[in-house]
Chains A and B, each alone.
Chain A
Amino acid sequence: GQQVMQIPQYQHVQEGEDFTTYCNSSTTLSNIQWYKQRPGGHPVFLIQLVKSGEVKKQKRLTFQFGEAKKNSSLHITATQTTDVGTYFCAASNYQLIWGAGTKLIIKP
């Protein structure tokens, strides 16, 4: 069945460094959604991208949808402790297909 590959599985950063997670699909997607799950919490919707080449920003977060609508990325500039958690992409064709998530860990 359709799969969405999300990498990396973990990313350790120093506070203030940037963070990026990528999602890739072998098929064209209708849209892609991004969610954040804080430790001990539930996934919370961040954004949905629909158009080819779309770029959306939310403060320090930048979301991109590829031109071919087969890949997407989430980039966080200058990470803060509040950014800690797992970021999931969820691709939609007929149903939501979830990536495995990227865990953002801030080094002490």
Chain B
Amino acid sequence: DSGVTQTPKHLITATGQRVTLRCSPRSGDLSVYWYQQSLDQGLQFLIQYYNGEERAKGNILERFSAQQFPDLHSELNLSSLELGDSALYFCASSVGGDRGKAFFGQGTRLTVV
């Protein structure tokens, strides 16, 4: 158990809909990262938050947004969903902003039908 909790584990929704994925980082970790992993693909970095502030942005679509709350949990919002958004979405957390090892949650598998 990595200590990072993601909910829900599975999500099936229709095209055009909006969903919210939730992540609770390990106790004491200030950074939260979001990644997208399509079937048998690598990890695509979406966005990083550090202590409530956006720290780095990757290949995140405009239809996607995220935030980190004062209690350090984070949410990833995906809107106007398309079939191609079907993927595994991982959240990871680390103590520091840029160099600490990352601990991953179990992921949320999103299926858009």
* A binding-site residues for B, Cβ under 8 Å: 30-31, 33, 35, 42-45, 48, 88, 90, 92-101, 103
Chain B interface residue number, banded: 20 to 34
Which residues of chain B have C-beta atoms less than 8 A from A42's C-beta?
A: 2, 90, 104-107
- Residue B34 at the A interface, CB < 8 A? no
Q: A31-B99, A92-B99, A95-B98 are in contact. Are A43 and B43 (CB under 8 A)?
A: yes
- Residue B84 at the A interface, CB < 8 A? no
Which residues of chain B have C-beta atoms less than 8 A from A88's C-beta?
A: 42-43
* Cross-chain contact A96 with B42 (CB below 8 angstroms): no
Q: Decide if the interface of chain B is mainly helix, strand, loop or mixed.
A: loop
- Contacts A92-B99, A95-B48, A96-B102 known; list 10 others, CB within 8 Å: A33-B101, A42-B106, A43-B102, A45-B101, A48-B101, A88-B42, A94-B98, A95-B56, A98-B42, A98-B45
* Cross-chain contact B43 with A98 (CB below 8 angstroms): yes
Partner of A44, one of B48, B55, B104: B104
